[in-house]
Copies of this chain bind each other. A is one copy, B any other.
Amino acid sequence: MRIGELSRRTGTSRRLLRYYEEQGLIAADRAPNGYREYDERFVDRVLQIRGLLGAGLPTRIIRQILPCLDKPRTIYFPDATPEMLATLRRERDRMTERIGFLTRNRDAIDAYLDAVLAYGGGDGAGDGSPADGLSREAGPGRR
């Protein structure tokens, strides 16, 4: 498929697909006319890149860890140099930290929402379109 279709199927602008390529995250081959040509595997690949970017990792890191995450679970070691392994461990630990932070803060938000809910009474949980009048008038007049 060409870039337009990949763009549609991944919800990623053409611009970004070219950018990811420029960053060494994906390597499309070219048709004789110069057009990029992608096969099915790129759909997942791009989605994974988006996910990692969305999770806050920079392309520089993604470039390094992506080969180790390659889809067909090939236990194929590209260039498992000691430095590479160190990078992976470091990155894994950073991700664990992030997960911890995100979890703690998400839980705090959740607890807050529960509290508001319990206080203000029945609001259909989750859909985010309350439209009831629970707003404020809050307890201890404390502003």
**Chain A residues packing against B (C-beta within 8 Å):** 48, 51-52, 54-56, 65, 68-69, 75-82, 85-86, 88-92, 95-99, 101-103, 105-106, 108-110, 112-113, 115-116, 119-120, 123, 126, 128-132, 134-136, 138-139, 142
Q: B112 to A106, Cβ gap below 8 A?
A: no
Instruction: Identify the closest chain B residue to A120 (Cβ).
Output: B80
Whole-angstrom CA separation of A65 from B97 in the bound complex? 20
Report Cα–Cα, A99/B99, bound state, in Å: 6
Interchain CB contact under 8 A, A102 and B99: yes
CA distance A69 to B101 in the complex (A): 13
The answer to whether A142 touches B102 (Cβ under 8 A) is no
Tell me, rounded to whole Å, the shortest Cβ–Cβ distance linking A107 to chain B: 9
Bound CA–CA A90/B99 (angstroms) = 18
Q: Shortest Cβ distance from A60 into chain B, in angstroms?
A: 13
Instruction: Assess whether A138 is in contact with B54, with CB atoms less than 8 Å apart.
Output: no
B-chain residues with CB within 8 Å of residue A89 when the two chains form the complex: 113, 126, 128
Q: Is the CB of B79 within 8 A of A138?
A: yes
**Contact A69:B142 (CB < 8 A) given known A52-B105, A95-B105, A106-B99:** no
Contact of A82 among B85, B91, B115, B130 (CB under 8 A): B130
